[in-house]
């Protein structure tokens, strides 16, 4: 499996990043270990998570995903074989949020403890913090780098203007964002394409996309409203249940049939074919789903395929 650099870093990853948001949320510890074992064996060496996964689930407090990842890494003895990507800054309880000196350093320490590691390969601001000057945030990231607690800094959910401001402030001993994690997929293109993509390309940033399968919609399993009933991500996928979304599924079906592939494989291959994208993030809750992800890295879309999908 070919490897790609994450922007101007020495971090090399497979062309797909395994999403860890499901660990401890929609799959338990045993199932998570099975997915992680199979993913590493298949060559997926980068795993994405965040401290807030899965604080949004009833009875959860956050850190569930990082905790399971840390237990797996320690149990399997594979720290030197994996690239850990995690994020901080979103609310983790009263007074535990933001990208300022009052919380971000502790958020990093908490992630390190849960992950049972001395360092995080890539640490991201989960979203911009309007209450903290970007200079302060970047100074904290630099301090974390200098202390050996993180290797590289990045951001998620930044607008083009927010990212440009962060890049402009990365002087005078402040860290430089080298990777961004935007919301981007075949069904949701507006947030990334255009100004944000231009900033990323112009500055040579690594780009790893989240919601790469539009919360499952681009797998083709949601075709009518009844398909969403009782699904964990049904509310998120429902935003695509419209004429445009259904037309896109028809085009995915056509291209998938042409290659003997699945809709999910085509949707991920489309992202991997985007010149500015380093790797999409995709999660799996079963070994069958993981096998689908593996096959997506082997699929090469033609110019005709790409034109057919450009809805």
Any idea which residues carry the catalytic annotation? 53
**Angle at CA of residue 65, ends 104 and 230, nearest 5°:** 120
C-alpha distances (whole Å) from 72 to each of 89, 114, 116 are 24, 11, 10
> Given the DSSP bridges, would you call strands 206-209 and 150-156 parallel, antiparallel or unpaired?
unpaired
Instruction: Report the alpha-carbon distance of residue 309 to residue 288 in Å, rounded.
Output: 25
DSSP conformational letter for 157: S
Instruction: Report the alpha-carbon distance of residue 293 to residue 299 in Å, rounded.
Output: 10
Residue 207, φ and ψ in degrees, nearest 5 = -130, 115
C-alpha distances (whole Å) from 181 to each of 167, 178, 218 are 15, 10, 19
Q: Is the dihedral of CA 52, 127, 119, 136 positive or negative?
A: negative
Q: Which of 60, 122, 115, 134 has the alpha carbon at shortest distance from 93?
A: 60
Q: Which of 23, 40, 21 has the alpha carbon at shortest distance from 31?
A: 23
Q: Which two tokens stand for residue 121?
A: 């390969």
> Given the DSSP bridges, would you call strands 83-88 and 177-181 parallel, antiparallel or unpaired?
unpaired
């Amino acid at each position: 499996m070919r490897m790609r650099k994450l922007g101007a870093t020495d971090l090399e990853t497979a062309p797909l990043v395994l999403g860890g948001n499901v660990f401890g949320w929609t799959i338990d510890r045993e199932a998570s270990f099975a997915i992680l074992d199979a993913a590493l064996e298949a060559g997926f060496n980068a795993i994405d998570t965040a401290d807030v996964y899965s604080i949004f689930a009833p009875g959860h407090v956050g850190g569930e995903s990082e905790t399971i990842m840390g237990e797996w890494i320690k149990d399997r003895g594979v720290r030197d074989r994996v690239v850990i990507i995690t994020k901080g800054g979103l609310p983790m309880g009263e007074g535990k949020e933001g990208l300022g000196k009052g919380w971000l350093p502790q958020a990093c320490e908490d992630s390190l403890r849960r992950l049972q590691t001395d360092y995080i390969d890539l640490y991201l601001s989960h979203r911009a913090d309007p209450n903290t000057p970007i200079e302060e945030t970047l100074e904290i990231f630099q301090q974390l780098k200098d202390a050996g607690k993180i290797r590289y800094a990045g951001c998620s959910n930044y607008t083009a203007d927010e990212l440009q401001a962060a890049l402009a402030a990365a002087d005078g001993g402040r860290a430089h964002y080298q990777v961004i994690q935007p919301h981007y997929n075949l069904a949701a293109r507006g947030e990334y394409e255009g100004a944000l993509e231009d900033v990323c390309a112009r500055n040579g940033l690594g780009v790893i996309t989240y919601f790469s399968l539009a919360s499952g919609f681009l797998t083709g399993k949601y075709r009518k409203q009844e398909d969403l009933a009782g699904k964990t991500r049904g509310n998120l996928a429902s935003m695509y249940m419209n004429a445009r979304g259904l037309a896109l599924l028809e085009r995915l079906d056509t291209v998938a049939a042409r290659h003997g592939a699945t809709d999910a494989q085509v949707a991920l291959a489309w992202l991997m074919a985007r010149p500015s994208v380093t790797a999409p993030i995709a999660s799996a809750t079963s070994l069958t789903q993981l096998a689908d992800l593996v096959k997506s890295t082997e699929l090469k879309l033609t110019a005709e395929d790409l034109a057919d999908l450009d809805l």
